[in-house]
Amino acid sequence: MTRATDAAQAHGKGKNGKATHRAKAHAEHDERSAREQARDDERYVDEHGDQLSASVRRAKWVHGPEDRPERDGQTLATRSLEVIRAWADARGAQPATAPGGDTEHPRVLRFDFPGYDRELQPVSWEAWGDTFTSRDLVFLYQETLSSGRQSNFFRLDSPEREDG
C-alpha cells in the first residue's frame, strides 16, 4: 500500500478515495442522531423554555459533536451525552462527584480536570449520564474563551431549580 492509500483508509476511504461503507454508515448514524437530538431539544425548549436560565435561552444549541461554535467565547448548550463526553475528553476531564458521595447515584455532578487540586470522587460515565438524564439537565459550556484559548467553563441548568 502507498502512503496515500494508508491515509485514505485511515480517514474512512477505500483505495479509490471513496468513503467506505463503514465510514458512510457511521456518518449517517451521526447525522440521524444529531437530527433526533435536535428534535428532542426543540421539544425540551418548548416545554421548559420559560423555566430555563437566560444564559441557556441565549446559548447556541449543539446537537452533535460535529456542531461548532460560530465564534470564540460563544456560550453553547446541549443535552447530548455524546457532546458532553467529547468536550470532557478534549480536556482530559473525568466525571466526578463531591467527596463521600454515592458513586452509583451521584447527587453533585462535576468534572475532574487534570492539574486542578480538587478532592473529587471519580464516578463512571454511566452513573454521571444517568443522573444528568434523570434530572432533565442542560449542559451549558464554552469550547474556547473569547481569546481563542480552550475553556473549561461549564454549568448545569435545570428547569426545576428554585430560582427559575
Q: How many CA atoms lie within 13 A of 140 on its CB side?
A: 14
Q: What is the model's pTM?
A: 0.74
- What average pLDDT score do residues 25-42 get? 68
* Segment 68-100, tens digit of pLDDT: 999 999 999 999 999 999 999 999 999 999 998
Residue 65 within a domain: yes
Q: Please tell me the total count of domains within the chain.
A: 1
Residue 56 has pLDDT above 50, yes or no: yes
For residue 66, give the C-alpha cell: 460535529
Residues 152 and 145: beta-carbon distance below 8 Å: no
Look-up: residue for cell 459550556?
141
For residue 150, give the C-alpha cell: 480552550
Residue 56 within a domain: yes
Residues 59 and 140: beta-carbon distance below 8 Å: yes
* Segment 111-144, tens digit of pLDDT: 999 988 678 999 999 999 999 999 999 999 999 9
Residue 163 within a domain: no
Give the span between the Cα atoms of 119 and 121, in whole angstroms. Answer: 7
Residue 124 within a domain: yes
SS3 64: coil
Residue 36 is part of which domain span?
Answer: 3-157
Q: Which pLDDT band, with edges at 50, 70 and 90, does 153 fall under?
A: very high
Residue with more model confidence, 143 or 51: 143
Q: Which pLDDT band, with edges at 50, 70 and 90, does 14 fall under?
A: very low
Residue 162 within a domain: no
Average pLDDT, the chain: 82
Helix (H) or strand (E) holding 155: strand 154-157
User: Which among 83, 79, 64 is positioned nearest to 132, based on CA atoms?
Assistant: 79
Residue 164 within a domain: no
Residue 22 within a domain: yes
Residue 41 within a domain: yes
